[in-house]
Chains A and B, each alone.
Chain A
Amino acid sequence: MASTPSAPLAPTASALARFLDGDVWHSFKQSPTAMVAAVIALVCVVAAVFAPWLAPHNPQDLASLQLMDARLPPAWVADGQARYPLGTDDQGRDILSALMYGARISLLVGLASVALSMVLGVGLGLLAGFVGGRIDSFIMRVCDVMLSFPAILVALLIDGVGRAMFPNAHEALAFTVLILAISLTGWVQYARTVRGSTLVERQKEYVQAARVIGVSPLRIMRRHVLPNVLGPVLVLATIQIASAIITEATLSFLGVGVPPTSPSLGTLIRVGQDFLFSGEWWITIFPGLVLVMIALSVNLLGDWLRDALNPRLR
């Protein structure tokens, strides 16, 4: 792994060289699945991040919409127009552009909630493993209770409570509630993983040595234990990105996710479902396809990373 404790001190160029020379990059070059998944994920991320510059149309610009162009099928079907490669929806929006903007919002919510749940989970896991005692058993009981319910249900409940507390929430608040709901569900996994590895690390000599020379517990946790328990967290975070994106899509599909003014992939699928019966399958199938592609490629990358970082498999 490139993140040895001395890595921040080394100049960037040599860190990159070391990464290219290391095990992880080598195993990446050996795995065709990982490379295909990485390419798909990269294409999706680039298309989403640079949507305002890459998308052929701006779906949020109401002035550019023309009702004449509504419900056009994809370009390769009869009646399709080359201007709209994947067709248009009921208001004449270009599906391809809507997809790119939608993926942008899905990725944003997914990454933000994974980051938040990682910080929360790693912090609580470190605390539980390092301090032990009552704090440990309290945090672990909370984890047990949360794990006995499916994640989507917990997220729905937190989301519901958030919506009930701020009934007239404006857009930014709706996003905050959504991200909080997903991350308050996801932290449990990190907490359990980190607690497990912290319990092991705590017994080791370097922690005892740091204690003997009088380093404060907070500093030991942050500077000494934390870097040594981050490996599994990295793998977990990759897989959690996929499940966070799917949770977001599900909540948005159910109509309790992102505000309708900024549609994500789930919102697009929800809206498109109504047009299934009038034959306009492309409005809902393409967002679904993109969702599956993102989730699948991220999951495959996570699987590969888990094997690559596992020294027993080498």
Chain B
Amino acid sequence: MLAFVIRRLLQAMIVMLTVAFIAFMLFQFVGDPVTNLMGQDATADQRARLRAELGLDQPFVLQFAHFIGNALQGEFGISLRQGRKVSALIAERFPATLELAAVAAVIGLALGVPLGVYAALRRGKFMSQLVMTGSLLGVSLPNFLIGILLILVFSVLLKWLPSFGRGDVVAIGALNFGLLTWDGIKHLLLPAFTLALFPMALVLRLVRSEMLEVLRTDYIKFARARGLPDRSVYFGHALKNTLVPVITIAGLQLGGIIAFAIITETVFQWPGMGLLFIQAVQFADIPVMAAYLCLIALIFVVINLAVDLLYFAVDPRLRIERSGGH
């Protein structure tokens, strides 16, 4: 198992280095920072001095090492559009996205798993058909359309929920959290549900098909024959054995939630990292783009690694096979 972990860690490092290299190349090839900082009328002498100050006259490899060193400390320079440090901008926006993604993930799992079990147990009944049709819509409708439909129904027609911004937030240290106020929760509901719909539908369909598969096996028949109550058969025996594929998909969807937050945040004008990134793309704000690129890659690499490690915790067969092999 240790060899497996080390191999995965090495792979993760290679991915991170590649992404860092792409981010570094952005700075190299897109626009000249000296021209950006000094304008067109600076003399050749001034330019050369600034170039030396910024370390731009050093060899390529040294510059890359310097970039990595800065990136490890979270320094990506100054946003070209907002004139502030990128690290400060990200720190300001990060809690909003984290809140949104976490609530969406909880909604997705908390509704997806039970609905999937329900659809499997009551197969062919009207309600479970309804759930399955709904989940088909959830998988195939584009995310931003769902958001717009929810705004139309709940904000414009029913006027129940607000449709943009975060509402009141409470500051804890340097970070702002909206989950602690009633107004913040009301603002969070629509975007979180929009974001949760796709992973929820996916988890639901997966749990249903896995449950149907497991319910046919012999050990379920045996458990029934032993006279165990239905609840213990369904949840103690059947559901437990559907968990391996569910964990994979749920884990990978967590990354998907953070990526799709870009779209949801645009629909609901949610002041998170995704909105920051979209504005950076629109205005070619390289430092912000590079920082977001590295951060999102880090999040994905960590999630993928965590999912791989979770297998060992969930599936005892893997522990035996792997430890025997290495």
Contacts and interface: CB of A to CB of B under 8 A. Distances in A.
A253 B144 contact: yes
Contact of A276 (B151, B255, B260): B151
A250 B259 contact: no
Nearest to B143: A250
B280 A149 contact: no
A229 B286 CA distance: 42
Contacts of B148: 269, 273, 276, 284-285, 288
A172 interface: no
Interface of A: 145, 148-150, 152-153, 156-157, 159-161, 163-165, 167, 246, 249-250, 253-256, 269, 273, 276-277, 279, 281, 284-285, 288, 291-292, 295-296, 299
Contacts of A296: 140
Between A157, A288, A299, the greatest number of chain B beta carbons within 10 A of the residue's beta carbon is seen for A157
B13 interface: no
Contacts of B18: 145
Contacts of B76: none
A83 B302 CA distance: 57
B42 interface: no
Given A250-B143, A288-B148, A150 B259 contact: yes
A150 B256 contact: yes
Nearest to A273: B148
A4 to B, nearest CB: 34
Between B144, B280, B284, B289, the greatest number of chain A beta carbons within 10 A of the residue's beta carbon is seen for B144
Interface residues of B, number: 39
Contacts of B284: 160, 163-164, 167
17 contacts: A148-B15, A149-B259, A150-B260, A156-B262, A157-B289, A160-B284, A164-B31, A164-B284, A164-B289, A165-B29, A167-B284, A269-B145, A276-B156, A281-B152, A285-B152, A288-B145, A291-B142
Interface of B: 15, 18, 26, 29-31, 140-145, 148-149, 151-152, 155-156, 255-256, 259-260, 262-263, 266-267, 277-278, 280-282, 284, 286, 289, 293, 296-297, 300, 304
Between B15, B148, B259, the greatest number of chain A beta carbons within 10 A of the residue's beta carbon is seen for B148
Contact of A148 (B156, B293, B304): B304
Contacts of B31: 164, 167
Given A164-B31, A253-B266, A246 B142 contact: yes
Contact of B262 (A254, A277, A279, A284): A254
Contacts of B142: 246, 249-250, 291-292, 295
A131 B186 CA distance: 58
B247 to A, nearest CB: 16
A222 B39 CA distance: 53
Contacts of B280: 160
B140 A281 contact: no
B300 A299 contact: no
Nearest to B151: A276
Contacts of B15: 145, 148
Contact of B289 (A153, A160, A291): A160
A157 B296 CA distance: 11
Contacts of A273: 148, 151, 267
A291 B145 CA distance: 10
Given A161-B26, A269-B144, A152 B286 contact: no
Given A165-B30, A254-B263, A292-B141, A157 B255 contact: no
B293 A157 contact: yes
Given A165-B30, A250-B263, A285-B152, A160 B141 contact: no
Contacts of B296: 149, 153
A254 B266 contact: yes
Contacts of A145: 15, 18
A152 B263 contact: yes
Given A150-B260, A250-B263, A253-B263, A163 B281 contact: yes
Contacts of B278: 254-256
Contacts of A269: 144-145, 148
